[in-house]
Structure 1
């Protein structure tokens, strides 16, 4: 992986703003002539679509079935998007990666760590930077309620608290914690500046 093609991952609980922030960051990098692909997991693969159906409450999946689908979808993600993009000399800004799977599908902190190792054992590439958009489960719930829309599988505040604690247990020491309560432009600019530093 060249210094000009790096892998940046955005993580956070539901409502933390990762999709919005990561998309804006990607747009700004491209506007600065830094070829960047915005990517997200779950993907649009057959496995990713099944995961989305589960998240929307259309189908039921137990924890093992969820985990199996996430791993299959990630293989598609890595082999068809992440590795080819980096090989072509472009960077990736990604909304969710294996830290999400560990945090969401982990029953507790220990199980979350096991899921993380399972992903690492598969040889999935390690990101250059991980940004965690830090927002308390209570604040995230308020945000999700205010934006409306259908409830999803992990919307319950108790679930979000479990996920948040799992994240804190498994995120790498190098993770950059970003205050997700700050102004959107401030959050985006902070991340862009940090990525430019990493690329320089």
Structure 2
């Protein structure tokens, strides 16, 4: 069980809508006078910028280098943002966490399960609740095409299928799976009800 009551993580493959949904739910909670911090990983710090350069195709990283950067970025993220705000009693609404690292980087060298264990053994705080925006890789591909922008490192069909399969192996048992094809209002209403229930409990 998580030590923290206010740490909510949003996961999903590219195009699932988790960034939009997590930002909107943070706004809703702020409107109810909650102290809320929206946060994302990779961060905008030095390590996070290197990861984003790789994701956008501007830099090349080996699987080992990718994993090292994600862990270094997360150490900084936990120590400078997540723990200080949780300790103050703020809610953290987070776009991606170590489940993403396990799902995306899990492969021939290290399995998704091994990467998950590596992160959990670092003592990173466990989320109160994980929300998974569930969308098939095919549906996500259509969304990404509609959205436009530059193709990223993991956009190929076989990569998205691998990532989705990895997620199914490593997400915690109490993960809330949300049908990402439903309306944004339906998603936000369902998420808000769960978060407010957790805060009150």
Give SS of 1:143's match.
Answer: helix
Shift of 1:34: 1.2
* Matching residue of 1:104: 104
* Matching residue of 1:65: 65
Gaps in structure 1 of 5+ consecutive residues: none
Shift of 1:184: 1.0
- Which 4+ stretches in 1 moved above 6 angstroms? none
Residue-by-residue CA offset, 1:160-198 (whole Å, 9 max, x unaligned): 000000000000100000000101111111111110011
* Matching residue of 1:82: 82
Gaps in structure 2 of 5+ consecutive residues: none
Give SS of 1:150's match.
Answer: coil
**Structure 1 length as normaliser, TM-score?**
0.96
Give SS of 1:26's match.
Answer: helix
**Size of the alignment, in residue pairs?**
198
* Matching residue of 2:118: 118
Give SS of 1:177's match.
Answer: strand
Counterpart-to-counterpart distance in 1, 2:193 and 2:65? 39
Give SS of 1:92's match.
Answer: strand
RMSD of aligned Cα (Å)? 1.3
Counterpart-to-counterpart distance in 1, 2:123 and 2:148? 38
